[in-house]
Amino acid sequence: MTLNELILEICRNADWYAEKFQVKVDKEFAALSLVKEIGQFAEARMIEQGIAIKKLNDVESKDRMTQELVDIIALAIINADLHKIDLEKALKDKWIKKTGS
């Protein structure tokens, strides 16, 4: 699956989510959801480091961080789509071409 195919599938999933939960996945909803997920990743990291009240074993902790990172990536993609950003081109321009890879 190419990056653009993955982006398309994630955006379709956002449409499904909006319909299922009767919410409008617009720029504000997507931006606030991204911030929420970043906070949840920070909490998962604190749990992993043992500096949070909640305790999980190593496997559960890594799974929680994984799930939050997946949410962050998906919401970043949804935000890019809503703002008509060509994410594949932007990633290549900023992370690949810029470094000489």
Residue 11: closest CA among 62, 57, 74, 59? 74
CA 98 to chain centroid: 24
Rounded CA separation 92/22 (Å): 35
Model-level pTM?
A: 0.89
Q: What is the pLDDT of residue 98?
A: 76
Residue pLDDT, tens place only, 4-53:
999 999 999 999 999 999 999 999 999 999 999 999 999 999 999 999 88
Q: What is the pLDDT of residue 100?
A: 64
Q: Find all residues with CB under 8 Å of 52, minimum gap 6, and list them.
A: 43, 46
Provide the token pair at 90: 């932007």
